[in-house]
Chains A and B, each alone.
Chain A
Amino acid sequence: MKIAVTVNGERYERDVEPRTLLAYFLREDLGLTGTHVGCDSSSCGCCVVAMDGDRAVKSCTMFAVQADGHEITTVEGLEQGGKLHPLQQAFWDQHGLQCGYCTPGMLMTSYVLLKHQPAPNEAEIREAIAGNLCRCTGYQNIVKAIQQASTELAAEPAAAAVGS
């Protein structure tokens, strides 16, 4: 099936098998391997990407054809003009990652969270990232990182806009 998807600001027209999952479309057709796959049951959240800027979706649970006509932002789309997104910087500053496998999904869920709730408290952050599993960090530094990014984005709201 022919689809047209805008990914990280760039429009792609591709012919895909109907059963191709969005995660594998991004990884294998577009070579965007930052989006990971860690389970078969939509549990781990390693594959989360942002759809139309304001929805966090598990790309292993969506067909590529369902993304037709939509805008997708992946972890590769966060950095703008050579400057890390405040979330990326904060995950680095706060030691919010270890093996790095959950990190792209965690970043994208956080990215969408901060779009909807620019100043979430700890409980709200923990609830928002509950669909993203991490085996390494125990989440504490991830929470701190999201808080740091929230503070920084509040100081310069323009940084929040990505891929548009």
Chain B
Amino acid sequence: MANLTLVQAITLALQQEMEKDERVVLLGEDVGLNGGVFRVTEGLQKRFGPDRVIDTPLSESGIMGTAIGLAMAGMRSIPEIQFEGFLGPAYDQLVNHAARYRSRTRGAVTVPMTVRVPVGGGIHAPELHSDSPEAIYAHSPGIKVVMPCTPRDAKGLLISAIRDPDPVIFFEPKRVYRSFREEVPEDEYTIPIGQAKVVNEGTDLTVVTWGATVFQCLEAMDNLPEDVSIELVDLRTIYPLDVDTVVQSVQKTGRCVVVHEAPKTAGMGAEISALIQEHCFLHLKAPVQRVTGFDTMMPYYKLELDYLPDAKKIGESVMQTLAY
């Protein structure tokens, strides 16, 4: 066991997979010599050389498109897009190519690629460095979308992503990159993609969330009256969604609040609410509530905490749903 931050756990997973499998290559802007702008790839170029940890030109479509070619030709490419706001130029390659190849060739060509992307707000970053676009990619068939928020989950899920035969977007919530440490097994292990985690068992109400807001939800729970029993579900994987864990929980509690940073309309909260009414209609004691970002631009950082769901809003939503 080692006491690691999220960043360190990801670095360790990359290092171990690169040691184990020489097909694994990292590529992106500043990932080599500089170890990435968040230092996630720190030391890896020194260890594995510039042919496996590759500083590329500043070119997101170029990074994504060549990573697709590498993966199609038998490598396990791990492109890094520096911030989620810069996925735009790579969107065409990711959604129109990486996602589609298996289907459009009926299995003849596949793209085993893991796209690492820091995601979300809360770190006082500049414009287009704080968004939460996970629903866009969950809505794109052919891609898997993962967003762990603890070091232990991140290591196990990243190893699963690298070994997955399909393209995976691995979103790393930058707000919790270094916010705490956790005991992480030093040996390799995997956590299956598509399995949510019950962070806290409870009986009165289910809170469903993922990414950095897991910690806002925990804070909210600390402030609730002692007799309120909350079940907190961290999805960990956005697609494929672990419907069973959510449904079993809501069938038990009869109440649900979904929390996410992304805008409300057509966010994952809408999908989860719809799934709950499909699967839990007769168990529901209250309408499903959503605590989300607004349908606006993510503001510059002076206002970012006014935008992001916080413990106060989450706690109020929980109490209202309980009182319904």
Instruction: Please indicate whether A and B come from the same complex rather than being unrelated chains.
Output: no
B interface with A by C-beta (< 8 Å): none
